[in-house]
Amino acid sequence: MTDTTSSPHTVSRLTVRVRGARLAFGGRTLFDGLDFDVAGGQWTCVLGPSGVGKTSLLRLIAGLTSPKTGSETEGTVSTDDGNPVFHRVAYMAQQDLLAPWLSTLDNVLLGSRLRGEPPDRDRAHALLEKVGLGANMSDLPAALSGGMRQRAALARTLMEDRPIVLMDEPFSALDAITRVRLQDLAAENLSGKTVLLVTHDPLEALRLGHRIYVLAARPATFDRVIEPTGAPPRNLHDSTVLGEQGDLLDQLARADTEGLVS
Amino acid sequence: MRLLRPLVIFIGLIAAWQIAVMLIGVPPFILPSPADVAGALIKRQEVLLGHAGVTLLEIVLGLALGVLFGAFGALVMSYFAPARRWLLPVLVISQAIPVFALAPVLVLWLGFGMASKVAMATLIIFFPVTAALFDGLRRTDPGLLDLARTMNASRGAILRHIRIPAALPAFASGVRVATAVAPIGAIVGEWVGSSSGLGFLMLHANARMQIDTMFAALFLLAIMAVALYFAVDAALSRLLTWQPDTQPSED
């Protein structure tokens, strides 16, 4: 058993089920009739070549419309407690999405500000300390490095304290070392949450995922579901992790060529 | 150097003016020398300052009202879709009519006093402010809006905490343009019909061949316009300290 089962966040273990997901763009079907589960209290990773519809799938769960005009997304999203998913998700994107006019602290407090709630400054302080930004609370985002900005975004995500966390390639714009550090930080702080991580990096999925779906081909299907052993974040020197990474890279490369041919 | 540069430019322009007058030898009733104008400025300072005060008040009131109405119009159009569909064509049509052509009408309706000049300046200022702020409100980072939606933000909260702050740089550009064109409204209004203000004084002096006084009024108007622009620009920069200046100084 992984350490997440002993996590105190038992109330937040919400499983999200997606049934019959369909995405059409410009008259072409990218996927149709896709079913998958985001298991409660675990990290589920969706891996696939770019343009396969990973982001649309995540946005479907988040209740956000597609940013591209001319694309259609549909599908039912439900949770095992029967309540809607919307308003119970925290969202973290590839861009840090920090408001440039707000200090790091005020960015972390953005959610409460938008909902008109009294801001819990002490908690925001504690979270910023936790992600290593204790000294940068009053800095504007422009004064922070890319890694620091994504740390602030992580703190803002944690501040929301939602049972479901949706992450859309949150670490892909970072350098290798910063990325590994942030993966560790996220794994540590989001344990017990229901996390969906969309990524194109097989190593990232293998380090963090309890379950990895590979979305490939057109129309896309889940070719393969991998359940790596051991608790995330997994060791980069683990030979099974590296072996799996080779297999996944092969598979994604094949899927990418097929996508180009079709 | 930042403070010195405008001073150098100012002295350079005055010197060029003086040299041109001396070299070309134009008579003072065509182009008076800076010394003549300075003489008029000192000799008639009470009259000049009185009229300058009137014009400045017209410009500042027009600017305040134009920015207020412009901001309000942009917010209404951004928040209510029907307002957008109905108001935008009206705005475009209103700008297709040259504002100068409206001046006689405004004087007819609002009289020879200050109101017609303030209305004129407001009309000129309204459009650049509305267009700039409306554009800024429409161009909010979609990612930021997605984030706000996942945070259960209402439309009003998104407007207040996301869209408006994000649109402030665009709004500031509109206000800068408005500040630069504001004196046009006031002066045109004064030319069409008034009994005070620098525009009135210029016409009055011109008719009496007091060319040095005319240039002194022009000089005062230029100083006022430049000072107003720098004051507004400084205030806006202070408001927008978070907006990074991406143009390097060596560029």
**pLDDT tens digits for range A79-112:** 888 888 878 899 999 899 999 999 999 999 999 9
| ipTM of model | 0.86
The burial class, CB within 10 Å (0-12 / 13-18 / 19+), for B220 is buried
Distances (CA, A) of A56 to A21, A22, A252: 10, 10, 19
- Mean of the pLDDT values across residues B92-116? 87
CA B59 to chain centre: 7
**pLDDT tens digits for range A12-56:** 588 998 888 888 877 788 888 888 889 888 999 998 887 788 888
Q: Do B151 and A89 touch (CB under 8 A)?
A: no
| Among the partner residues B150, B157, B158, nearest to A90 by beta-carbon distance | B150
Q: Do B153 and A89 touch (CB under 8 A)?
A: no
Distances (CA, A) of A218 to A17, A256, B77: 22, 10, 42
Does a structural domain hold residue B17?
A: no
pLDDT class for A72, splitting at 50, 70, 90? confident
The runs of H, that is alpha helices, within B80-150 are 81-96, 99-110, 114-138, 142-150
pLDDT class for A67, splitting at 50, 70, 90? low
Does a structural domain hold residue B111?
A: yes
The burial class, CB within 10 Å (0-12 / 13-18 / 19+), for B157 is middle
Tokens 């409306």 belong to which residue? Answer: B134
Backbone angles phi, psi at A231, to 5 degrees: -90, 135
User: Which residues of chain A from 146 to 165 reach within 8 Å of chain B, CB to CB?
Assistant: 160
Q: Is B69 left (phi over 0), alpha (psi -120 to 50) or beta?
A: alpha
Q: Do B146 and A62 touch (CB under 8 A)?
A: yes
Does a structural domain hold residue B57?
A: yes
- Report the CATH number that the domain containing residue B108 is assigned in CATH: 1.10.3720.10
**pLDDT tens digits for range B175-220:** 999 999 999 989 998 988 888 999 999 999 989 989 999 999 999 9
Does a structural domain hold residue B22?
A: no
Task: Tell me the pairing of strands A16-25 and A71-79.
Answer: antiparallel
Partners of residue B239 in chain A, C-beta under 8 Å: none
Find, in chain B, the residue whose alpha carbon is nearest to that of A61.
B150
Tokens representing B28? 């003072």
Does a structural domain hold residue B169?
A: yes
| Among the partner residues A114, A142, A166, nearest to B148 by beta-carbon distance | A114
- Domain membership of residue B169 as a residue range: 33-239
Please check whether residue B216 is in contact with residue B41, taking contact to mean a CB–CB distance below 8 angstroms.
yes
- Looking at the complex, report in whole angstroms how far the Cα of residue A155 sits from the nearest Cα belonging to chain B: 14
At A252 the pLDDT is: 78
- Helix, strand, coil share (%) of chain B residues, nearest 5: 80, 0, 20
Return all residues near B241 (Cβ < 8 A) that are at least 6 apart.
none
At A191 the pLDDT is: 87
Please check whether residue B39 is in contact with residue B101, taking contact to mean a CB–CB distance below 8 angstroms.
no
Distances (CA, A) of A176 to A142, A144, A184, A224: 22, 18, 13, 26
**pLDDT tens digits for range A220-242:** 777 777 888 888 888 877 788 88
Does a structural domain hold residue B65?
A: yes
Q: Do A140 and B242 touch (CB under 8 A)?
A: yes
- Taking CB atoms and an 8 Å cut-off, how many pairs form between chains A and B? 62
A140 at interface of B, judged by CB pairs closer than 8 A: yes
- How many other β-carbons are positioned within 10 Å of the β-carbon of residue B239? 14
- Mean of the pLDDT values across residues B145-155? 92
| Among the partner residues A110, A142, A160, nearest to B244 by beta-carbon distance | A142
Partners of residue A87 in chain B, C-beta under 8 Å: 152
pLDDT class for A261, splitting at 50, 70, 90? very low
Does a structural domain hold residue B247?
A: no
* Distance, CA of A62 to CA of A53 (rounded, Å): 14
User: Which residues of chain A from 200 to 229 reach within 8 Å of chain B, CB to CB?
Assistant: none
Does a structural domain hold residue B165?
A: yes
* Distance, CA of B236 to CA of B213 (rounded, Å): 34
| Structural domain total, chain B | 1
Q: Do B149 and A63 touch (CB under 8 A)?
A: yes
At A258 the pLDDT is: 64
In percent, the amount of chain A with pLDDT more than 90 equals 40
Average pLDDT taken over every residue of chain A: 84
Partners of residue B170 in chain A, C-beta under 8 Å: none
